[in-house]
Amino acid sequence: DAGITQSPRHKVTETGTPVTLRCHQTENHRYMYWYRQDPGHGLRLIHYSYGVKDTDKGEVSDGYSVSRSKTEDFLLTLESATSSQTSVYFCATGLALQSSYNEQFFGPGTRLTVL
C-alpha cells in the first residue's frame, strides 16, 4: 500500500462550478497520475506529473487542469464542471525506476456527480 489518499471521496456539484480534487501520497513517489473511470471505457489518463511542477496531458485532458507544488500533493481542477465530467476519479503514483515496469499504486477514488 503506497499510502495514497484522495479527498473528497464523494462530491455532488452543479454545472458551471469549479471543483478541485486532491491526491496526497506519503511514499515519495516521483510519478503521479489522474484517471477517470467510466462504464465501457476503463481507466483513461487525464494528466500526469513526473516531478514537482512538471506535468503533462493525458488522453482526456480537455476541461481539466492540474498542479503539483509538492511531491506529496497532486491537484486536479475542473474549472467549470459539466455533466460529462460525472465519473469516478482515481489518483495513482509510480516509482521512477526502470525495474518497476511502470507499476502504479492507486488511491481509493473520488465519486464526482455534476448535476
Partner 1 sequence: KNEVEQSPQNLTAQEGEFITINCSYSVGISALHWLQQHPGGGIVSLFMLSSGKKKHGRLIATINIQEKHSSLHITASHPRDSAVYICASAKYYGNNRLAFGKGNQVVVIP
Q: Which residues pair with 73 in a beta bridge?
A: 24, 70
Nearest distance, CB of residue 94 and partner 1, angstroms: 6
Give me the residues that bind partner 1 (CB under 8 A), please: 31, 33, 40-45, 48, 50, 56, 58, 90, 94, 96, 101-109
Q: Which residues pair with 89 in a beta bridge?
A: 36, 110
Rank residues 19 and 92 by Cβ distance to partner 1 and give the closer one. Answer: 92
The single-letter code of the amino acid at 55 is T
Q: Which residues pair with 96 in a beta bridge?
A: none
DSSP letter at 85 equals G
Rank residues 15 and 26 by Cβ distance to partner 1 and give the closer one. Answer: 26
Rank residues 33 and 78 by Cβ distance to partner 1 and give the closer one. Answer: 33
Nearest distance, CB of residue 76 and partner 1, angstroms: 17
Q: How far apart are CA 65 and CA 55, in angstroms?
A: 10
